[in-house]
Structure 1
Amino acid sequence: MRLCNCIPFKPSTSSDCGSICPGVNVSFVNDDWSWNLECLPPYSKLSGPDNRTVIFNEIWSFGTAGIQGDKRLTRDTIAYWEVFVSHRVFGTALMFGIGAKQGYLYANDFCHMIGDNAHSWGLCHKGLLWHGSISVRFCEPFEEFKPTKIAMLFDGPAGTLRFWKDDQDLGIGFANMFEHHDGPFYPMVSSTAAKTEMTLGRRLQNTQRLRRLSDAAAISVLLNLTSRSAICDLPLPADSKRTLQQKWDDFRTSD
């Protein structure tokens, strides 16, 4: 694993991502994951549509609170997501990143929760990247008491995590992410400040991966059928049956 703030990156001329991820040659579709209620820390709450807003240290801050999303990030995942932060940008550490599964995300001290261990990677609002309790300078500190937007792109095949701040591309912050941990990882945010409010914005996923998953599911179904005609009896929409019939012709001998 290495921390880095300058990795050679060949820009792409593709417009698949529009202005969302300039220089990234990947097609995206909308995703619908949210914060995981099961790991909500004390003195915090979820609110808004689909629990997309988390409020940490709702009355006063007694330590560090964090939460993970319910989006699995694996070696074949390419995912983009945005986090909008309210004006309460201050304190020891507001952090954005990813980490391995954690069931309890609270500490009674003020720490850099995302990156304090070898299984999480985070960007602090003070412009530092953290991993394995080691930090390096990555960008300028965020302006305090000013709302901001942080965006991240997890590229599983490349093993990288890239950051944007207020639509400015900060570059790839972490590389070789599967070197010491096989995953899966999950999106994470944390805060030491009182009344910190963070809301999920756009969440996108790679359409190529979705096609691979769809193909794998279709093949699994076909392998359990004894004839092409059995597809007609499946409780599926007509277009799904036509797709399976086409795949039967591709992968199996017809009746």
Structure 2
Amino acid sequence: MVQCHSELAALMLQGCEDYWAWSRKEKSHEVKLVGKRRETAHFHPKWSNGTAGVRGTRCLNYGTHYWEIRVSQRLFGTSMMFGVGTKDACLHMDSFVNMIGENDQSWGISHKGIAWHNGKGRNFTKPFRENESTTLGVLFDWQKGTLSYFKDGESLGVAFTGLNLVNQELYPIVCSTAAKTEMTLCRRRRMYHSLQDRCRAAIVAKLKEERHVDALPIPNRMRCFLKETMA
């Protein structure tokens, strides 16, 4: 757990802000995205009769990424989950299940403290207190192949290893079986890939919105390069 804290501290000091969001297209029909930058996922707006998920827009491969998810006070139900998955990971099921980790295409933990992958669960941490808001941090390190978690600033440790051996793109993913629950993206950071990436991050930090990039007198290829890191 000390190692997880040191890795996160290094990322906070040496990395940059990231601006990805929840995907408009890659989500369950039971997920409504809220906010100008699609940072809040609202699950089962009326009632729940299954499990709904949504994927993040950030590809995690070959980098180190950290993101925080603020979970609303309505924390309850069969399973609310947080993790990563491939493009083949399921985003909707008409039953109440632990959907992230239900097969070999995703890895995640539930609010009940169980770590799931390939249909198998194991005790990972204490169950979250229900009906009490919390902030969950997720640290993905491609080089080490690890997926670690933090809860309200405290390290829960490494939940999964070997993710650098996955030969498909991985993305953040969350899901919920509970009606009228919300998960909001808060802090998002990543390590730089190169000097070029560092320069891009400095520019994007000043612009943040795609319309500002479009207004720059630069070649289209450079515009596309800048937009790659934006939601």
Structure 1 CA distance for aligned equivalents of residues 47 and 4 of structure 2: 46
2:153 is aligned to 167
Matching residue's letter, 1:54: A
Structural mapping, 1:37-76, within 5 Å: 37-74=24-61, 76=62
CA distance in 1, matches of 2:170, 2:159: 16
CA 1:183–1:122: 2 relative to 1, 3 Å:
same
> Structure 2: which 5+ residue stretches go unaligned?
200-216, 223-231
1:141 is matched with which residue: 127, 130, 135?
127
1:95 and 2:81 correspond:
yes
Read off the aligned partner of 2:102 and give its amino acid letter: D
Instruction: Using the TM superposition, give the Cα deviation of residue 102 of structure 1 relative to its aligned residue in structure 2, in angstroms.
Output: 3.8
Task: Count residues with an aligned counterpart.
Answer: 203
Correspondence list, 1:1-255, <5 A = 9=3, 12=6, 21-22=8-9, 27-74=14-61, 76-102=62-88, 105-179=91-165, 181-207=166-192, 209-211=193-195, 213=197
Identity, in percent, stands at 38
- Using the size of structure 1 for normalisation, the TM-score is 0.73
1:169-189 Cα distance to aligned partner (Å, 9 max, x none): 11111111133x212100000
In structure 2, do the counterparts of structure 1 residues 43 and 178 end up closer, same or farther at CA, with 3 Å as the change threshold?
Answer: same
Given that residues 11 and 24 in structure 1 are in contact (C-alpha distance below 8 angstroms), is that contact kept between their aligned partners in structure 2? no
For 2:57, the aligned partner's letter is: D
CA 1:214–1:148 in structure 2 vs 1: closer, same or farther (change >3 Å)? closer
Aligned residues of 1:26 and 1:206 also touching (Cα < 8 A)? no
Q: In the superposition, relative to structure 1, how do residues 40 and 10 fare at CA in structure 2: closer, same or farther (>3 Å)?
A: closer
Q: Deviations over 1:142-192 (max 9, x none)?
A: 00000010010110011001100011111111111133x212100000000
CA offset digits 1:58-106 (Å, max 9, x no partner): 11001000000000011x2111100001011111100000000148611
Gaps of 5+ in 1: 1-5, 216-234, 241-255
Q: Which has the larger radius of gyration?
A: 1
Amino acid aligned to 1:211? L
Q: Amino acid of the residue matched to residue 192 of structure 1? A: T
Other structure's SS at 1:178 match:
helix
**Equivalent residue letter for 2:40:** T
Instruction: Specify the SS of the correspondent of 2:37.
Output: helix
Q: Using the alignment, how far apart are the partners of 1:104 and 1:137 within structure 2?
A: 23
Q: TM-score, normalised by structure 2?
A: 0.80
How far did residue 210 of structure 1 move?
4.2
Deviation at 1:43, TM superposition (A): 2.7
